[in-house]
Chains A and B, each alone.
Chain A
């Protein structure tokens, strides 16, 4: 069975500071990993995904995540955050015909 652990329920950070949101997974099959972002009162939007190939994947808005098989991690990073990055971030692993999500990390960016 697949599972995802997001240890940080909330991460406060100042604008223009770097941030890392942690995600650890457990999977007994091929690992497909995803990060989704949820803005207030909205659905989920795909931020980036790892299916195969390069272990470093990037999004169009400056986020990146690195697949680390030995540490079973897929942490999300951004070198400089903006106020507009304030949202809930969910890590997910592909299961059989479904996505298995973590409990989410709320990123709070303040000026």
Chain B
């Protein structure tokens, strides 16, 4: 049990729609990262937020965006969904005292039809 929760657990959308995924980190974890894990692949870094600002981004288009809130929760928003966006989306949090240890949530499985 990492203390990181994500909602919803599963989601089905159609191409072109928009989706919001949510993550709740442990108290004191002021850094949150989002990863996309396609079937049979390792997680791919989407972006990282620190103190409510984006401070690192992977090779994902601007239609992937995020928010981080003062209560250690965060969101991943994806606009104009494509079939290839179907994946498990993981959030991971860490605190300033140990940034090398990331605590992962159970993930949200998104299916785009």
Q: Of all chain A residues, which has the CB nearest B106?
A: A43
Shortest CB distance A93–B (Å): 11
- Report if A43-B90 is in contact (Cβ < 8 Å); known contacts: A96-B56, A103-B40, A104-B42: yes
Which B residues touch A104, using CB under 8 A? 40-42
Residue of B2, B43, B45, B58 touching A45 (CB-CB under 8 A): B2
- CB of A44 closer than 8 Å to a CB of B: yes
- CB of B33 closer than 8 Å to a CB of A: yes
Residue of A32, A43, A95, A100 touching B2 (CB-CB under 8 A): A43
- Distance of A45 Cα from B105 Cα, bound (Å): 9
Q: Of all chain B residues, which has the CB nearest A51?
A: B100
- CB of B7 closer than 8 Å to a CB of A: no
Shortest CB distance A91–B (Å): 9
- Report if A98-B2 is in contact (Cβ < 8 Å); known contacts: A49-B100, A103-B40: no
Which A residues touch B107, using CB under 8 A? 42-43
- CB of A75 closer than 8 Å to a CB of B: no
Question: How many residues on the A side are at the interface (Cβ–Cβ under 8 A)?
Answer: 24
- Distance of A43 Cα from B44 Cα, bound (Å): 14
- Distance of A42 Cα from B92 Cα, bound (Å): 13
Q: Of all chain B residues, which has the CB nearest A4?
A: B42
Whether A101 and B56, one on each chain, are in contact in the complex, defined by CB atoms closer than 8 angstroms, is no
- CB of A90 closer than 8 Å to a CB of B: yes
- Distance of A79 Cα from B41 Cα, bound (Å): 27
- CB of B87 closer than 8 Å to a CB of A: no
Which A residues touch B44, using CB under 8 A? 101
- Report if A98-B56 is in contact (Cβ < 8 Å); known contacts: A43-B90, A103-B40, A104-B42: yes
Which B residues touch A96, using CB under 8 A? 56
Q: Of all chain A residues, which has the CB nearest B103?
A: A46
